[in-house]
Chain A
Amino acid sequence: MLARVALLIGASALPASALAAPAKKAKRFLTASQLTLLGAVADTILPATDTPGALAAQVPVKLDGLLAGWASAQTRTKITGALARIDAAAMTKKNKHFAVLPAAERDAVLRPHDAAALQKVAPPPNAPKPNLFSQVNYVADPGYLRIKELVFNLYYFSEAAMTHELIYEHVPGQWQPSIKLTPQSRPYMGTGPF
């Protein structure tokens, strides 16, 4: 029960330093201030509500771990560039760094930035043709889309989200081809393409 309560605590109830709370021994790539900024962005994209948010799911530190151990130099540059543009938007609109803004103001800054960044653009002439398993989306700020995708993936495949937000059963056992939905039903998560 305590664990569940802790997961449900929103970012507003946490000290600012918690936004960047690093996990033990995790590989790091971002500077402390970049990680704090990423924490604020992730918390704005997926805040704690009636279920845990990105912070309880340790999305920022895991994403930093991906930048250290998974991302190519090109992806790192794309992502840090997109983070810097979010901070620049906060400086322009609020004259403050994004991470120090209260949650409502962060939302007010990020919302129009998100909509503009995700504006679809025409694919380059040599773009590979998409198929069912590799959809490539062309948007105004690909670095921002990358951040949002990684935040979604890290969140929805986290223990916090898979036990509190949607439902995941690692060993379902039976295949039940027809069940009735109720207002409380939530989609089951899978990990593969099917």
Chain B
Amino acid sequence: MFDAIVIGSGMSGGIAAKELCERGLKVLVIERGRKIVHGEDYMDTQMPWELPNNNMIPEDELARDYPIQSQCYAVNAATKKFWVKDSEHPYTTPEGKPFAWIRGYHLGGRSIMWGRQSYRLSEQDFGANAKDGHGCDWPIRYADLAPWYDHIETFIGVAGSKEGLPQLPDGQFLPEFALNDGEKLFKASVEAKFPGRKVISGRNANLSVAQPHHEELGRSSCQNRSICERGCSFGANHTSLSSSLPAAERTGNLTIVTDAIVHSLVQDPKTGKITSVRVIDAKTMQGRTYEAKIFFLNASAIASAQILLNSTSEANPRGLCNKSDQLGRNLMDHLYALTTAGIFPQYPKDSYYKGRRPTGIYIPRFRNVTEEADGYVRGYGYQGGVMRMGGKPQATAPGLGQEIKERGRKFGPWMAFISGFGEMLPSPDNRVTLNPARKDKWGIPLVHIDVSLGKNEHTMSKQILADGKAMIEAAGGMVISQASEAGTPGLGIHEMGTARMGRDPMTSVFNGFNQAHEAANLFCTDGAVMASSGCQNPSLTYMALTARAADYAAGLLKQGML
């Protein structure tokens, strides 16, 4: 019997393990994928010419095994091992309503390949549902989470600049990755032409300057290689393998099992407490159970909902903790790939930069903050960068021989791209259910994901593109390329909302401390619990919620209340 079981070893599971272990609990982490080893299993030391097939995945293999995963920008030969084979891990969607579920099944999960952008939600975000009536009110406010944001930022290391913006609260930052000269000019123009808008350095979980507590875990400062998604042997970006699991491990309280797929949770009908978790060995197909006093569900938003939906019993025919019928509903992602790119012929021709910085620029939300929105609620931020064109020439331009090399050697104009990340509203019709007809090879029902963007999202998308164009042009740029619509839902890889937090057990699944309304010793702290999505990249919030819930759960356990 363990004190605590954590289901999932990714972004939030790693932090759950750390926080619970550090409070003296004997913790078992259950990971459905295989074990991988920090450093040893990365392909970040290979030179570009040493990568197989020029870093491309064979075309037939890509089409057969990775038709969905390959829509993610970070999929290549060097990272192939970190993405699931769609052919082995199917799910279903309605005809004509695609959802791209991007996944990694291995120790550390998607924390290995994540984009590292780390932003706090604000008071405005936590109050948004109550204000405009979409979804259910968050049971917490910014002040509840602020100290836990501090705690997580300090531990993981977030580079950023203090800006004093109410819609994007400052945190405990390492020095930011400075803007280059093109970005400084872009910032100056945008901020002058649009008072209230800001262009700042992207806040990212890369150690711009490693601190002693990072170095104690074997982590070191960022080397500006920008191949983070291959896994970083320097441990310069926060991942479960570089950071949270080693912190858990050094307490002596951690046990990890890999290749163990959680089938369901078992609830004692008398006490309402969870008693055990049923797992299926991924390799042998044999079933077994693990028992503990408390359980943390950190399988990721869709998978956590799947586990609860599959935990049926006589008392809970439609899934565990689902009296509210909200389980699986309100699936959100961020509006993604709404990119505008432009060139700036007037920007300095003699200026350049050196190193490949693992972040870019960020434009915090201004719609429905300092500027009105054109017929929708909520808002969006932009991620992007301004860079010098040049290097490997385009093969599409006619020409041969020395002129090609000359093209590659020539420094082109500065080019900016800014890509909107828009808030998606919680809608009960955007939902995950279990497919009644199809099971995976372990006998677990497939998830069926039914999501579409609504009127608010479509209206917002138009203004994301219009504002993107206006900012490029206001800074003296000429738009050279622009998306026409948001990417397929799921590609933001920010899925959340499927088991939301709330005050009322009849309208939500987990309470203000991420504790199940219907099972006192069950906690969920991954994206599933998000009552709204904000427009900020959410991992930092998942980690802060996790640390807060772990502190609360460990306290209750100590007091003998669980």
Which among B47, B55, B385 has the greatest number of chain A C-beta atoms within 10 A? B47
A75 at the interface (CB under 8 A from B): yes
Least CB distance from B27 to A in Å reads: 35
B351–A172 contact, CB under 8 A?
no
Among B48, B60, B399, residue most surrounded by chain A Cβ atoms (within 10 Å): B48
B398 CB-CB contact with A under 8 Å: yes
By beta carbon, the residue of chain A nearest B78 is A191
B409 touches A166 (CB 8 A): yes
- A172 and B355 form a contact (CB under 8 A): yes
Chain B nearest CB from A10 CB (Å) reads: 11
CA distance A80 to B223 in the complex (A): 42
Could you tell me if B226 and A157 are in contact, using CB atoms closer than 8 angstroms? no
Known: A66-B53, A131-B483, A179-B352. A187 touches B396 (CB 8 A): no
CB distance from A52 to the nearest CB of B (A): 10
Distance (Å) between the CB of B113 and the closest chain A CB? 12
Whether B356 and A187, one on each chain, are in contact in the complex, defined by CB atoms closer than 8 angstroms, is no
CB of B252 to closest CB in A, whole Å:
34
- Chain B neighbourhood of A71, CB < 8 A: 58-59
Asked if B388 and A187 make an inter-chain contact with CB atoms under 8 angstroms apart, the answer reads: yes
Docked-complex contact A44 and B391, CB < 8 angstroms: no
Judge whether B224 is part of the interface by a CB distance below 8 angstroms.
yes
Contact B54 A175 (CB under 8 A): no
Contact check, B56 vs A177: say whether CB atoms are below 8 A apart: no
Distance (whole angstroms) from the CB of B362 to the closest CB of chain A: 14
Contact A114 B409 (CB under 8 A): no
Decide if A90 is an interface residue (CB 8 Å cutoff): no
Q: Most B CB atoms within 10 A — which of A46, A75, A132, A180?
A: A132
In the assembled complex, the Cα of A60 lies from the Cα of B404 at a distance in Å of 18
Contact check, B385 vs A118: say whether CB atoms are below 8 A apart. Answer: no
Is A178 in contact with B225, judged by CB distance below 8 angstroms?
Answer: no
Q: A72-B60, A129-B485, A178-B353 are in contact. Are A187 and B408 (CB under 8 A)?
A: yes
Q: Give complex CA distance A30, B484 in Å.
A: 41
Q: Mark A156-189, 1 if CB is under 8 A from B, else 0.
A: 1111001001101011111111111100011111
**B residues less than 8 Å from A70 (CB atoms):** 53-54, 56, 58-59
Whether B227 contacts A180 by the Cβ 8 Å rule is no
Choose from B180, B225, B398, B409 the contact partner of A177 (Cβ within 8 Å).
B180
- Alpha-carbon distance between A75 and B229 when the two chains are bound, in angstroms: 28
A191 to B73, CA, bound (A): 12
Residues of A within 8 A of B82 (CB): none
Contact of A186 among B349, B355, B404, B409 (CB under 8 A): B409
Q: Flag whether A39 is at the interface (Cβ < 8 A).
A: no
Contact A187 B355 (CB under 8 A): no
- CB closest chain-A residue, reference B221: A173
Q: Quick one: which of A69-94 are within 8 Å of B by CB?
A: 69-73, 75
B280 CB–A CB distance under 8 Å: no
Contacts of B544 in A (CB 8 A): none
Which residues of chain B come closer than 8 Å to A47, judged between CB atoms? 401-402
CA distance A180 to B354 in the complex (A): 10
A13 within 8 A of B: no
Give chain B residues whose Cβ lies under 8 Å from the Cβ of A176.
353-355
Is B54 in contact with A62, judged by CB distance below 8 angstroms? yes
Closest chain-A Cβ to B185's Cβ sits at a distance in Å of 11
Q: Are B224 and A174 in contact (CB under 8 A)?
A: yes
CB pair B354–A194 under 8 Å, yes or no, is no
Q: Judge if A51 is at the interface, Cβ distance under 8 Å.
A: yes
Q: Chain A: which residue is nearest B417 at the CB level?
A: A132
User: Is A177 within 8 A of B395, CB to CB?
Assistant: no
Q: What residues of B have a CB within 8 angstroms of the CB of A191 in the complex?
A: 48, 55, 227
- For the complex, is B350 an interface residue (Cβ under 8 Å from A)? yes
B50-66: CB near A (< 8 Å → 1, else 0) gives 00011110111001000
Asked whether, in the complex, the Cβ of A129 is within 8 Å of the Cβ of B223, the reply is no
Is B226 touching A114 in the complex (CB atoms < 8 A)?
no
B408 touching A190 by the CB < 8 A rule? Answer: no
- Cβ-closest chain A residue relative to B46: A170
Q: Which of B385, B400, B402 has the most CB of A within 10 A?
A: B400
The answer, among B178, B339, B398, B484, for a CB contact under 8 Å with A115, is: B398
Q: Which residues of A contact B53 (CB under 8 A)?
A: 65-66, 69-70
Chain B CB within 8 A of A110 CB: yes
Residue of chain B at shortest CB distance from A152: B395
Interface flags for A131-142 (1: CB within 8 Å of B; 0: not) read 111000101000
Docked complex Cα distance between A147 and B240 (Å)? 41
Which B residues are CB-close (under 8 A) to A110?
A: 400
Given A130-B481, A131-B337, A189-B392, list of 19 further CB < 8 A pairs?
Answer: A45-B400, A45-B401, A51-B405, A70-B53, A70-B58, A70-B59, A72-B60, A118-B396, A131-B339, A131-B483, A150-B54, A166-B392, A172-B224, A172-B355, A174-B224, A174-B355, A176-B353, A191-B55, A191-B227
Closest 8 CB pairs of A and B: A187-B390, A172-B355, A72-B59, A176-B354, A175-B355, A156-B392, A187-B391, A148-B395
Which A residues contact B (CB, under 8 angstroms)? 44-47, 49, 51, 62, 65-66, 69-73, 75, 107, 110-111, 114-115, 118, 129-133, 137, 139, 145, 148-154, 156-159, 162, 165-166, 168, 170-181, 185-194
Residue ranges of B at the interface with A (Cβ–Cβ < 8 Å): 47-49, 53-56, 58-60, 63, 73, 177-181, 222-227, 229, 337, 339, 341, 349-357, 360, 385, 387-388, 390-393, 395-402, 404-405, 408-409, 411, 417, 419, 481, 483-485, 487
A to B CB contacts below 8 Å, 23 in the list: A44-B400, A44-B401, A71-B59, A72-B63, A107-B401, A129-B483, A132-B339, A132-B417, A139-B396, A145-B395, A153-B54, A162-B49, A171-B223, A177-B353, A178-B180, A179-B351, A185-B352, A185-B411, A188-B354, A191-B227, A192-B356, A193-B73, A194-B385
